[in-house]
Chains A and B, each alone.
With several copies, the nearest count.
Chain A
Amino acid sequence: MRYLPHTPEDIADMLAEVGVGSLEALFATIPKDCCCRLDMQLPAALTEWELNDHMDALAARTAVSPAVKVYMGAGSYDHFLPAAARHVLARGEFVTSYTPYQPEISQGTLQAIYEYQTLAGRLMGTEVATASHYDGSTALAEALLMAIRITRKKRVAVSAAVHPHHRRVVATYFDPTGYDIVELPCLPDGRTDLTALDGIEELAAAAVQSPNFFGCIEDLQAAADGAHARQALFVASFTEPLAFGLLKSPGSLGADIVCGEGQSLGLPRSFGGPGLGMLGSRMAFVRNLPGRLVGRTQDQDGRQGFVLTLATREQHIRREKATSNICTNNSLCALTAAVYMAALGAAGFCELAQLNHDKAEYLKTGLAQAGFPSPFSSPTFNEFVVRFPGGVEKVYRRLLDKRIVAGLPLAKYYPGLSDCTLLCVTETAAKHDLDNLIKEVRS
């Protein structure tokens, strides 16, 4: 096997050195009653070429563009990925290294993550950002637990317009903790009803996502004020950070903690993962932050260098008292996001965001004119809900036959929106495809 360098001679020499008669004998210390396995029932080894054929065939059984046009976002976005980014991200020194515990020979990863933290902070409008978390949902769960640690209060309020899956993950994390979660309902315009904050006792944090699950842009300033009025922290989450090329950053609108999903910053959708959990806050909370942080320092000759720092928050030092159990995070995804943000630059990022918005508006307006308006009046970014009065199922099926996925039907998530679907349009959708979609819906 080409991954196993040992020749029979090597094995014989090494066994002799170890003083053992056979490879099996290496396991002699294991008590018999731990009954060594019989052969595993697994497919026989494939050659590299058989594997290629097998995987090509499997991959061919999943629908992707251009064969199928998928107008679905809902936390996973289709953006163009530059060849130049893919090139540098394939460098073995980045891909095959471990967490940079030995900084002298890990400065590449360390500077790159320090740069990521900086750009992520500028994007979210926070003073500090962590090195990464698993994804947007775990980042939100960790953000809420962090707020509870900071405020020493036991209740969080989460908008019903936060991604339903993110809310389910929060529920999973909270289940054994005894902390409780209050849901903030939505207004007819598609935004969160902040008046629901009134009279919630023991409130540690209020969490609102913007653009929210319906694509609607929330009034984060009002949400921040509402939370602060109750001595609670305001947590702003997101699933489409490209929106901040156009919108004010959550941090600038008073969010104490900002978290979300960074997949759209240059990561392939990859059937949902790995993504990128982003999390940032005010510097005042830095010692309560979960997850890894890279800091700038100097070496003994005074040269600039970078290290993992504030490790006393982490499990390998603090064990059960750590701010989180996370160890391996999504470092290469953070690096990918940094490369992507740097490739676009300030102006490019804004322009790309504007284009996403404008293409989505083009479809939204077109569908409205075709008689399928959005149930929500609030402004949106690159996603929006549209209602099919005759019911979603029929239209959805018909379009599927035309190799078009008409977004995400909402019935399963919001019974009240059973005749609605959530559509997404990014820069990858050409005008003529949007025109075609409108035509098909009309017909």
Chain B
Amino acid sequence: MTDSLGTTGLILNEPLLWEKGRKGRCGFSLPRRDVPVSALDPHLTGTGPDFPELSEVDLIRHYTRLSTWNFGVDTGTYPLGSCTMKYNPKTNERQAGLPGFAAAHPLLPPELAQGALALMHDLAGFLAEITGMDAVSLQPAAGAHGELTGMLLIYAYHRSQGAQRSKIIIPDTAHGTNPASAALCGYRPVPITSGAQGVLTAEVVAAVMDEETAGIMVTNPNTLGLFEENIRQITDIVHAKGGLVYCDGANMNAVMGIIDMKAIGIDVLHLNLHKTFSTPHGGGGPGSGPVCVHKRLEPFLPVPRVIKQGSTYTLSEEFPQSIGKLDTFHGHFGIMVRAYSYILSLGPAGLKKASQLAVLNANYVKEKLKETFHLAHDRPCMHECVLSDKNQAGHGVTTLDIAKRLMDYGFHPPTIYFPLVVPGAIMIEPTETESKEDLDRFIDAMQQIAREAAENPQLLHDAPHKSKVRRLDEVSAARKPCLAG
């Protein structure tokens, strides 16, 4: 089809929940009362929350209509850089919904929870094998939580070495969660700039690394989609000064079965199961951010840990040096079930193939678009490539305009204005589940948009044209916040 993938169709408006319904309705089947009412001391009781009252059909239509205002991976191509918006397999939902998992209480005595414990034990083993690290904690609830866990591990390690440190090195390409997580541990981020090639040089690291510095946080592959090729020298430098190396593994999707993280000197790394391991993002979560560590950090891992004794699994708290607990129970078990299912569905060859194809897709898009859009670093990339609006600036067209216009073509925009080191960044991560035809359509759209930028920039300033709402006033939203109805 030559015409745009994006078009318009009938969509239903829908009021806010409390503008709907009528007192006296209920969309829930209230259980039968088989015990007497027993009154509670009246000065304790209140009037209950002021919730709207809807019928079941009100409820179904409300959320069905809202859902149609959203764009998901199930809708179309979603090349959101750094977010790995790959296809979320439906069988994983089936597995997570099994009563034996979904209805299991987290504090069941281990003998009654062998299935859940076995799954966690084996998943941790799989992740250790995939990254090459020695031990894994599944407790962190998301990537940033994994980063915090990693920082706490490094903090605990240095304390065990007898001397705490105050700083941590963080490249300018790092995701915002990196400095924020470090700060939670009281570490002062020491920013370093990546080299002209878009990767860190040993020199800049050597220049700042000292005995006051706890270590470094590197993202590898980094947020420019490049492999940190000096990583070996860098980790040597950091280790030489008694520091540790944290790797933000959010981009692991590029290198499964290709890089041994321990071998390149990583001490601790977090994974995003909701990226690399295909669990759905759910409009912003829940995710899961396991940390994988070098054996020197294993004693500090969160508790409880699943231990296998013979053929039975138990939970152990017997790790006196542990940093403690990161969340109430075992972490996001429901997400672990999905990731476990994904790993078993692909197997080792499939996982490696996924990484290879993710990298192939990114390089394909890069090659096809680099003539039209300025490419920050013209060299082979990993899972994503970073373009910018430099070539379009002459027409007064910005990255934001390009992103909004892509919606009219039926695509979710890439990540924009990140990483910060590339002005007007357009960060494209296709992932391996996009087919060549889908990428070719995306490339066509980008090229048509470039033409429009030259011929009719207003068309882009006014975009999007087809979505249910157009550009929103974010300024007054922040100035006079209205956060509840």
- Assess A17 versus B483: contact at CB under 8 Å? Given A62-B104, A97-B72: no
B104 x A353 contact (CB < 8 A): no
A143 at the interface (CB under 8 A from B): no
Q: In the complex, which residue of chain A has the Cβ closest to the Cβ of B418?
A: A316
A322 x B330 contact (CB < 8 A): no
A37 x B258 contact (CB < 8 A): yes
Residues of B within 8 A of A83 (CB): 89-91, 93-94
- Assess A26 versus B356: contact at CB under 8 Å? Given A35-B263, A98-B85, A328-B274: yes
Residues of A within 8 A of B353 (CB): 1, 4, 23
- Assess A168 versus B325: contact at CB under 8 Å? Given A45-B350, A294-B483: yes
Q: Which of A51, A91, A102, A320 contacts B95 (CB 8 A)?
A: A51
Q: In the complex, A109 Cα to B29 Cα: how many Å? A: 26
User: What is the CB-to-nearest-CB distance from B288 to chain A, in angstroms, rounded to a whole number?
Assistant: 8
- Assess A107 versus B80: contact at CB under 8 Å? Given A297-B476, A358-B33: no
- Assess A246 versus B259: contact at CB under 8 Å? Given A51-B345, A165-B325: no
- List B residues 437-479 near A (Cβ within 8 Å): 464, 467-474, 476-478
A387 at the interface (CB under 8 A from B): no
Interface residue SS majority, chain B: loop
Q: In the complex, A52 Cα to B45 Cα: how many Å? A: 33
B56 x A343 contact (CB < 8 A): yes
Q: Which of B49, B74, B85 contacts A349 (CB 8 A)?
A: B49
B130 x A42 contact (CB < 8 A): yes
Residues of B within 8 A of A330 (CB): 141, 282, 285-286
Residues of B within 8 A of A352 (CB): 28, 30-31
- Assess A46 versus B106: contact at CB under 8 Å? Given A83-B93, A102-B413, A322-B176: no
Residues of A within 8 A of B485 (CB): 114-115, 118, 296
A355 x B33 contact (CB < 8 A): yes
B196 at the interface (CB under 8 A from A): no
- Assess A104 versus B56: contact at CB under 8 Å? Given A92-B64, A98-B83, A273-B329: no
B329-360 vs A, Cβ < 8 Å mask (1 yes, 0 no): 11111110100010111111111111011011
A94 x B282 contact (CB < 8 A): yes
- Assess A128 versus B30: contact at CB under 8 Å? Given A5-B435, A72-B107, A307-B474: no
Size range of the interface on A? 35 or more
B88 at the interface (CB under 8 A from A): yes
A327 at the interface (CB under 8 A from B): yes
Most central of A50, A94, A292, A342 by chain B CB within 10 Å: A342
B360 x A18 contact (CB < 8 A): yes
Stretch from A148-156, A175-183, A194-202, A225-233 at the B interface:
A175-183
Residues of A within 8 A of B34 (CB): 430-431
User: What is the CB-to-nearest-CB distance from A62 to chain B, in angstroms, rounded to a whole number?
Assistant: 4
A272 x B333 contact (CB < 8 A): yes
B323 x A286 contact (CB < 8 A): no
B181-192 vs A, Cβ < 8 Å mask (1 yes, 0 no): 111111011000
A49 x B29 contact (CB < 8 A): yes
Q: In the complex, A353 Cα to B286 Cα: how many Å? A: 27
B118 at the interface (CB under 8 A from A): yes
Q: In the complex, which residue of chain B has the Cβ closest to the Cβ of A221?
A: B43
- Assess A272 versus B359: contact at CB under 8 Å? Given A17-B367, A104-B470, A175-B152: no
Q: In the complex, A314 Cα to B176 Cα: how many Å? A: 9
Q: Which of A10, A68, A134, A316 contacts B112 (CB 8 A)?
A: A68
> Told that A58-B100, A84-B89, A326-B142 touch, could you supply 16 new A-B pairs with CB distance under 8 A?
A30-B258, A92-B72, A109-B284, A112-B66, A118-B17, A135-B327, A249-B46, A309-B474, A331-B285, A341-B49, A345-B28, A348-B26, A359-B35, A362-B35, A379-B41, A405-B109
